[in-house]
């Protein structure tokens, strides 16, 4: 499978070219975010101290080593399950102009419409493959909200980040929806012969 290469931050136009099932590799800057970070932004109403316009958000709480005030080195950086954070999808697109959300395991169907409407995609990464992912992160450039450690807001510079598979595109398609639909039909067949 040939991969498309994208550099982040990016534009809605670029995002609209992607289709569910495409394989993508990413360069540039990506932002690490997790449960407590979302809760602070949306439930506690605190504005994020980083620009999220055109951003690629990675669902992560990295393993790091502190090397100075506000300065961290990577130890092991991988990706967490996305589904827990699905309710923030529309807000991220509408209020902050986020273009891509990347995590593992997929987002439920409620993410499909906001992604279509706001021109966003969901990238599925291989969960658990953190040793490899760590080699693709060149540097931890910035961290905000250190008191939420490790669920801070992180800025990473990445090269050849992937492989990522477009799990949900900005045209209403979701690989995860399709797999679930087929599996549910299959379960009906299986139950009939048990």
Partner 1 sequence: MITTDLEGIVEDAASHLYVWALKDIPQDLRDALADAAERETSVSGRRVLSTILKNVQVADDQKNLVCQDTGIAVYTCRVGEHFPLHPARIYAALKAGTERATVEHPLRSNAVHTITRENTGPNTGHRLPIVHWEFVPSWDGLDVKCIPKGSGSENMSFLKMCVPADGVKGIKQFVLESIVDAGGKPCPPGIVGVGIGGSADYAMYLAKEAIARPVGTKNPDPVVAQLEEELYELLNDTGIGPMGLGGDVTVLQVHVEHADTHMTLNPVAVNYQCWAARRATAHVGPEGEVEYDREF
The residues that touch partner 1, with contacts defined as CB under 8 A, are 1, 21, 23, 36, 60-65, 75-81, 83-84, 104-106, 124, 126-135, 149-150, 163, 165, 167, 175-176, 178-180, 182-184, 186-187, 190-191, 194
Min CB(130)–partner 1 separation in Å: 4
Residues labelled as active-site residues:
38
Q: Angle at Cα 15 formed by Cα 107 and Cα 55, nearest 5°?
A: 75
> H-helix or E-strand containing 45?
none
Q: Which two tokens stand for residue 10?
A: 């990016």
| Residues belonging to the chain | 194
Please state the closest distance from residue 183 (CB atom) to partner 1, in A: 5
Residue for token pair 């099932």:
21
Q: Which is nearer to partner 1, 19 or 117 (CB)?
A: 19
Indicate the SS3 state at residue 153. strand
CB of 53 to partner 1, least distance (A): 27
Residue 96 or 145 with smaller CB distance to partner 1: 145
User: Terminal CA-to-CA distance of the chain, rounded, Å?
Assistant: 38
Three-point CA angle 135, 124, 159, nearest 5°? 30
- Give the residue with the Cβ less far from partner 1, 71 or 182: 182
Which candidate, 27, 34, 14, places its Cα nearest to that of 169? 14
Which residues lie across from 171 on neighbouring strands? none
* Shortest spacing between CB 33 and partner 1, in angstroms: 15
Of 70 and 128, nearer to partner 1 (C-beta) is 128
């Amino acid at each position: 499978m040939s991969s498309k290469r994208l550099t982040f931050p990016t534009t809605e136009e670029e995002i609209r070219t992607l289709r569910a099932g495409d394989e993508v590799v990413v360069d540039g800057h990506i932002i690490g975010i997790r449960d407590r970070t979302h809760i602070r932004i949306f439930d506690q109403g605190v504005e994020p101290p980083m620009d999220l316009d055109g951003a690629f958000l990675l669902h992560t709480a990295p393993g790091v080593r502190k090397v100075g005030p506000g300065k961290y080195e990577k130890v092991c950086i991988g990706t967490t399950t996305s589904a827990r954070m699905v309710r923030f999808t529309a807000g991220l697109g509408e209020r902050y102009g986020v273009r891509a959300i990347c995590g593992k395991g997929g987002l439920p169907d409620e993410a499909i419409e906001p992604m279509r409407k706001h021109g966003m995609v969901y990238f599925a990464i291989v969960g658990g493959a953190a040793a490899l992912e760590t080699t693709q992160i060149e540097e931890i450039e910035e961290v905000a909200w250190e008191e939420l450690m490790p669920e801070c807001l992180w800025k990473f510079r990445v090269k050849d980040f992937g492989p990522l598979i477009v799990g949900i595109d900005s045209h209403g398609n979701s690989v995860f929806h399709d797999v679930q639909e087929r599996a549910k039909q299959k379960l009906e067949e299986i139950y009939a012969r048990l």
